[in-house]
Structures are given as structure tokens and as C-alpha cells.
């Protein structure tokens, strides 16, 4: 009999979307997992993160595993096995075996119907899905590399996304601070903006000159 074959009092539910899956929402997974727990009357706590399980360490999962070791939960529920991990099958299977055999918790993957309380799904089905989860990420990584190599062969060069200046905002500020130099004006322009929206004074100067609002509109100041 598996150690995971036990009644559940407190369940941890874990959801994850990869860093390249930002358009997806972990709440979609969490909603399904919450309904599952409610159907059985299990008390539950949610853990979620946006993180690649193929190459990254999944900090939220590591925190959850630490709490499992402190015996705060007796069950771990995920939407599908690849949400838990897409690392090498040996890593995923070892992690799950430790959870069941050493920590004594029950593990359930809803989508595949994997349950450590069921020896058939645990010993036969689970290793297969661990393999396919890893295979998907490995193939995806190879496709991305091939795509980048193809673009480079056709003259593409990687670089940062071009900054976009809010022209109306810039014109308004130039009108209010017509006697300010480019550096002082850029400080005011960048106030309240995120780092991705902020621009350098040299870019701001270039745009002002193109708009005909250059140095002659700042009393000859050039800085």
C-alpha cells in the first residue's frame, strides 16, 4: 500500500505558467483545483507562479516543498504533471517518490488522473507523463534555437525594443518648461514612468530637434 493512500485534511494546490506563457493565467488552473478540493471537503491553500520549470528553480514550489517537509500539508494537488515540472523525468520521478515515501503526502494530478493512492496510475501512468512533459520543453527549446539561427542567417540582429516617446506629453512639457535644457527636461519627462517607458536625454533631444522644438526654444541651453 502506498504512503500516499491516506485521508486528506489539508491540501496544497500548486499552479504554474511558464515565462513564455504570460497570456495564460494561473487562476484558470487554481479555479479547477479549488473546485476539486471543495468537492471532497478538503481545506486547501493555493500556491502559484510564472516560471519556467525546464530551466528555473521555481521558488514558490521550493517554498511549498519546505512547508510539506514541516508537515503542514498531507496532499499536493496540481492541474497536470507538466505544471509541476518539465525537468528530466528522473528529477520529476525522484521528487514525487520523495514526497510520497519520505514525507508521506498524497499527490494528485487532476488532468491525467494520477493519484499516489492508485498504484496503477502511480507506477505506470506517472512515469510516462513525466517523460512527455520533459520532451515537450526540450523540443520547444530546440525549435526556439532553430528559429533564432534562421533569423540571424537572414540578417536579423537581436537588440532592445525601440523606446517610444509620448509626443503630446513631450510637447506639453516643453511648453511648460521652455527654458529648461534637455537633461532637466528629460528628468521631468521620466517622472512617474516605469523603467521601460523612461527615455534618455539624448533621445529626447533628438525628438525635440525633429519637432522643431530644439535648443532655440530653450534659450540656447544645450544640456
The predicted structure's pLDDT at residue 152: 58
Instruction: Give Cα separations from 183 to 46, 53, 196 (angstroms).
Output: 47, 43, 18
Q: What are the pLDDT digits (tens) for 29-44?
A: 999 999 999 999 999 9
Alpha helices in 70-125 (DSSP H): 81-84, 89-101, 119-120
Q: Write the DSSP symbol of residue 88.
A: -
The predicted structure's pLDDT at residue 4: 45
Whether the CB-CB separation of 207 and 200 falls below 8 Å is answered with no
Cα–Cα distance for residue pair 56/78, rounded to 1 Å: 18
Question: Residue 210 pLDDT > 90, yes or no?
Answer: no
Q: What are the pLDDT digits (tens) for 83-101?
A: 898 888 888 999 999 999 9
What are the DSSP calls for 120-139, one per residue?
HIIIIIHHHHHHHHHHHHHH
- Note the pTM of the prediction, 2 decimals: 0.58
Q: How many CB atoms lie within 10 A of CB 91?
A: 14
The predicted structure's pLDDT at residue 212: 84
Cα–Cα distance for residue pair 170/58, rounded to 1 Å: 42
Nearest to 107 by CA among 147, 80, 132, 145: 80
Amino acid at each position: 500500500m502506498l504512503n500516499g493512500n491516506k485521508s486528506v485534511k489539508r491540501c496544497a494546490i500548486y499552479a504554474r505558467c511558464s515565462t513564455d506563457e504570460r497570456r495564460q493565467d494561473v487562476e484558470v488552473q487554481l479555479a479547477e483545483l479549488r473546485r476539486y478540493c471543495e468537492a471532497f471537503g478538503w481545506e486547501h491553500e493555493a500556491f502559484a507562479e510564472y516560471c519556467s520549470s525546464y530551466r528555473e528553480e521555481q521558488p514558490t514550489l521550493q517554498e511549498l516543498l519546505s512547508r510539506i517537509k514541516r508537515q503542514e500539508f498531507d496532499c499536493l494537488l496540481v492541474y497536470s504533471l507538466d505544471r509541476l515540472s518539465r525537468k528530466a523525468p528522473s528529477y520529476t520521478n525522484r521528487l514525487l517518490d520523495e514526497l510520497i515515501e519520505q514525507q508521506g503526502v498524497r499527490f494528485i494530478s487532476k488532468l491525467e488522473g494520477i493519484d499516489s493512492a492508485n498504484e496503477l496510475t502511480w507506477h505506470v501512468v506517472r512515469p510516462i507523463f513525466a517523460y512527455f512533459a520533459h520532451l515537450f520543453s526540450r523540443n520547444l527549446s530546440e525549435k526556439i534555437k532553430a528559429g533564432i539561427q534562421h533569423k540571424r542567417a537572414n540578417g536579423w540582429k537581436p537588440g532592445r525594443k525601440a523606446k517610444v516617446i509620448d509626443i503630446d506629453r513631450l510637447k506639453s512639457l516643453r511648453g511648460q518648461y521652455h527654458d529648461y535644457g534637455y537633461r532637466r527636461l528629460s528628468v521631468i519627462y521620466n517622472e512617474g514612468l516605469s523603467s521601460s517607458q523612461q527615455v534618455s536625454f539624448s533621445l529626447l533631444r533628438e525628438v525635440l530637434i525633429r519637432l522643431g522644438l530644439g535648443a532655440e526654444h530653450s534659450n540656447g541651453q544645450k544640456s
